[in-house]
Amino acid sequence: MGYMLILILCIIKFQIGKSQNDRIATVWRKNIVPIIFNEFPHMGCGEEDKNFAIMQKTYADYEYFASGRKNCRYAEFQLNLIRRHCALTEFGYDLYAGNVDRLVMEIAVDSGSREIPLEFFVCRRKDLKSKLKSIEYLGDFCKGSNAKNYRLSEKEMTNKNALTVMAEHDEIANQIIDAKVGQVLQEYGASGLLHEIHITDQKQYNEIPLFMRVVIEVPDIDDENKINEFNQLF
């Protein structure tokens, strides 16, 4: 009798968790894909130029693809959600590991035949130590950058969600963080949603010579303020 009850609860949890993740993916597609629509000539994995369908890889992982933009080979958008369909994983591993819903954007930069040495990294202050440990070469290649368009006061620097900017040279940081980008980071960077921006020529993630990876936390879809912050950062 006890085993049957556990089985029934697991089935109910599976259905509820699966539906929750489907709803998050649907809301994300509704809010974000139109933004991608304006930036890339080809969208989705179909043969047609503009395909709004998002590809589901697992019950917690969704993917969207775009290409055709100048100086960009492709852009891949991975929606990695908490595995809500599995009680053991959600309340065990994911909770212990501190996993959250997140969007990972990976963009392969098309530099043609040029070799562009570039290392640029942004993360939350509270994550810096672990990032330097996981990306071993980063501390040797980059230093804390004095980005003129992203300046924090002493009070703002006490916020552990405030962003740390690292680059090989200040000039690189100033070119990437222009006035418009700096304004967005200044206003929404300390929200804690932006986890990481990494532009690298070190083939950290694949064999592509110049690659950009951005990680943004996906907030509760019923929290309008956080959703607005997410959209601004995106």
3 state DSSP class of 61:
strand
Predicted local distance difference test score (pLDDT) of residue 92:
67
- Record the tokens describing residue 211, joined without a space: 């690659």
Which contacts qualify for 217-226: CB closer than 8 Å, 24 or more apart? 217/100, 217/101, 217/102, 217/103, 217/192, 217/193, 218/24, 218/28, 218/79, 218/81, 218/100, 218/101, 218/102, 218/103, 219/101, 219/193, 221/23, 221/24, 221/27, 221/28, 226/191, 226/193
Cα–Cα distance between 56 and 99 in angstroms, integer?
A: 19
- Whether residue 53 is predicted with pLDDT greater than 80 in this model: the reply is no
Dist CA 149 CA 185 (whole Å)? 9
Q: Is the pLDDT of residue 181 over 70?
A: yes
Neighbouring residues of 219: CB distance < 8 A, sequence distance ≥ 6: 101, 193, 226, 227, 229, 230
| Statement: residue 222 has pLDDT above 80 | no
Q: Tell me which DSSP letter residue 53 carries.
A: P
**Could you tell me which residues come within 8 angstroms of residue 93 by beta carbon, excluding any fewer than 6 positions away?**
99
Q: What's the average model confidence in pLDDT over 55-63?
A: 85
Mean residue pLDDT across the chain: 81
Residue ranges of domains in the chain = 2-71, 119-233
Tell me the two tokens of residue 52.
């709004």
pTM: 0.86
Q: Is the pLDDT of residue 123 over 70?
A: yes
Mean pLDDT value across residues 179-202:
85
pLDDT of 133 > 80? The answer is: yes
